[in-house]
C-alpha cells in the first residue's frame, strides 16, 4: 500500500491519519509541537482540572456523519455553549438577543422588540453591519448601541481593527439574534469530549499503521522523507518559503490562574468587549467539562501579533497573497501533494468543518489511488 505523509497533528491531520490507516495505508505524521491535537490540545493540570491550553474549544455540528464519526472515539459531555458579556456592570447573553435587549435597555425593550420582529421576523439572525444600515431611526440607534457596546471594542482587541474594516464573514459569525434563544451555537449536536480532546485524538491514532513524530520540523527534514502522497496542514506560506510574502495571522496569548474557590463566574465563558480590559474573554475550564472540584482554573485571552497562531487575518491584501500560494498548491496535485486545513487553506474553519473536509478528502483520494 502507498505511504501517506501528513504534516501537522491537528484535528485535520489526525482525521486524515485515522481514515487512511483504517483502510490499510501506512501513515507517518510529523508535528513541530511536543503534543498532538494542534490548538485543540487539552490536559489535566496538577489540580485535576481539564484545561484547554490554547483557549476553549467547543464542539458543535449539524453534520450527523461528523458527530457519528467522532463518537466512535469519545463519549460526550452534553455541554451547550452559553456566553455572557460583561456590559455596563451586568452579565448579559451574547450574541445580542431579545433577553440582552431587556437587560440592557428595559425601558424601551418592548417597543424595540416589536419593531425588530416586524422588520426581520422572529428567529432571524442579522449581521451587525447589516442592522446598522436600517433606515428606521430608532432601530438604527439600537444597532449603533449594540455595535458600540458589543462589537467595536472586542473587534479592536481581537483583530486590531474596527468591525467594518474586517471581512464581513468575521462579524457575521456572531449576528444579532431576534429570539430568546441564549445558545451561542444553534447546531443539532453540541458537546465536549468527556475525557478531553487529547484522549479522543489518542484513540484516533491508536493504529499499528500510524507512526507519529513530534518535535519534528518538516522543512528541516523534507529531503530525507519518502512518501507516495503528502497532505500538508501547516501554514501555506511557510511551505513555499514565503516567496509571495508572509500571510498575516492574529495570534493569542493565554494566562492561567487557579483559584481556591468552586466557581469564579456565572458561565464557562464571559466576554469583555470594553477596551478598558486588555483581555477579550475569561474561560472557566471545569464548566466546559462538567468537572467537580473545590478549586477552579480560569484562562484570560490576550489577542495580538504575538503568541500562538489563532486565526487567519482575512483582509484583501492577505487574500490576494493567499491566492498566489494557492495557485502554486494546485500545481502540486500532480505530484500527489495536497493542502488542507485552516492554516493550509487560510480559512476560518470550525472543528466540525475541518473533520468533514478531511473525511471528504480521504474519500476522494482513495477513488483515484
Query: What residue spans define the domains of the chain?
Result: 3-36+205-244+313-368, 41-82+183-192+249-311, 95-177
Nearest 5°: phi and psi at 228?
Answer: -100, -40
In DSSP terms, 43 is beta-bridged to 51
Report the alpha-carbon distance of residue 311 to residue 314 in Å, rounded: 9
In the block, which residue shows the cell 458600540? 148
Name the phi and psi angles at 339, rounded to 5.
-110, 130
Angle subtended at Cα 203 by Cα 8 and Cα 18, rounded to the nearest 5 degrees: 50
The torsion region of residue 352 among left (phi > 0), alpha (psi -120 to 50) and beta comes to: alpha
pLDDT 10s digits, 189-223 = 999 999 999 999 999 999 999 999 999 999 999 99
Lowest-confidence range among 146-155, 160-169, 275-284, 313-322? Answer: 160-169
Q: Is the pLDDT at 165 greater than 90, yes or no?
A: no
Q: What is the pLDDT of residues 54-85, one digit of tens each?
A: 999 999 999 999 999 999 999 999 999 999 99
| Mean predicted confidence (pLDDT) in 306-326 | 94
Reduce the DSSP state of residue 264 to 3 states and report it. Answer: coil
Q: How many CA atoms lie within 13 Å of 183's alpha carbon, on the beta-carbon side?
A: 13
C-alpha cell at 358: 478531511
Dist. CA 233–CA 36, nearest whole Å:
13
Indicate if the pLDDT at residue 168 is higher than 90: no
Q: Are 301 and 257 in contact (CB under 8 A)?
A: no
Q: Which residue has the cell 494542534?
A: 38
Give the rounded percent of residues in the chain with a pLDDT score beyond 90.
94
Task: Classify strands 210-213 and 83-87 as parallel, antiparallel or unpaired.
Answer: unpaired
Render pLDDT for 3-38 as a digit per residue (tens, 0 to 9): 999 999 999 999 999 999 999 999 999 999 999 999
What superfamily does domain 3-36+205-244+313-368 belong to in CATH? NAD(P)-binding Rossmann-like Domain (3.40.50.720)
* 281 close to 301: Cβ distance less than 8 angstroms: yes
Q: What pLDDT does residue 369 have? A: 79
**Per-residue model confidence (pLDDT) at position 43:** 98
Amino acid at each position: 500500500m502507498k505511504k501517506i505523509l501528513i504534516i501537522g497533528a491537528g484535528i485535520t491531520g489526525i482525521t486524515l491519519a485515522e481514515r487512511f490507516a483504517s483502510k490499510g495505508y501506512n501513515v507517518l505524521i510529523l508535528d513541530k509541537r511536543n503534543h498532538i491535537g494542534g490548538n485543540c490540545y487539552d490536559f489535566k493540570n496538577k489540580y485535576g482540572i481539564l484545561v484547554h491550553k490554547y483557549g476553549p474549544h467547543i464542539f458543535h455540528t449539524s453534520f450527523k456523519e461528523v458527530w457519528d464519526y467522532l463518537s466512535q472515539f469519545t463519549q460526550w459531555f452534553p455541554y451547550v455553549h452559553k456566553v455572557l458579556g460583561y456590559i455596563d456592570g451586568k452579565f448579559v447573553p451574547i450574541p445580542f438577543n431579545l433577553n440582552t435587549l431587556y437587560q440592557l435597555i428595559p425601558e424601551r425593550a418592548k417597543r424595540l422588540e416589536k419593531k425588530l420582529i416586524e422588520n426581520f421576523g422572529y428567529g432571524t439572525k442579522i449581521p451587525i453591519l447589516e442592522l446598522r444600515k436600517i433606515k428606521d431611526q430608532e432601530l438604527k440607534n439600537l444597532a449603533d448601541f449594540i455595535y458600540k457596546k458589543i462589537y467595536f471594542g472586542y473587534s479592536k482587541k481581537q483583530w486590531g481593527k474596527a468591525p467594518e474594516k474586517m471581512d464581513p464573514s468575521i462579524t457575521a459569525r456572531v449576528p444579532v439574534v431576534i429570539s430568546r434563544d441564549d445558545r451561542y451555537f444553534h447546531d443539532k449536536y453540541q458537546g465536549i469530549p468527556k475525557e478531553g480532546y487529547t484522549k479522543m485524538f489518542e484513540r484516533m491514532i491508536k493504529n499499528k499503521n500510524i507512526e507519529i513524530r513530534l518535535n519534528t520540523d518538516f522543512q528541516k527534514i523534507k529531503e530525507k522523507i519518502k512518501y507516495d502522497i503528502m497532505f500538508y496542514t501547516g501554514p501555506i506560506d511557510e511551505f513555499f518559503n514565503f516567496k509571495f510574502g508572509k500571510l498575516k495571522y492574529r495570534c493569542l496569548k493565554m494566562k492561567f490562574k487557579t483559584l481556591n474557590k468552586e466557581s469564579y463566574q456565572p458561565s464557562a465563558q464571559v466576554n469583555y468587549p470594553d477596551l478598558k480590559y486588555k483581555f477579550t474573554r475569561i474561560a472557566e475550564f471545569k464548566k466546559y467539562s462538567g468537572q467537580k472540584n473545590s478549586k477552579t482554573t480560569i484562562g484570560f485571552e490576550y489577542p495580538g501579533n504575538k503568541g500562538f497562531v489563532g486565526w487567519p487575518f482575512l483582509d484583501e491584501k492577505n487574500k490576494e497573497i493567499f491566492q498566489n500560494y494557492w495557485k502554486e498548491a494546485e500545481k502540486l496535485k500532480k505530484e500527489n501533494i495536497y493542502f488542507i486545513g485552516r492554516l493550509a487553506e487560510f480559512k476560518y474553519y470550525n472543528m466540525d468543518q475541518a473533520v468533514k473536509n478531511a473525511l471528504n478528502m480521504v474519500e476522494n483520494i482513495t477513488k483515484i489511488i
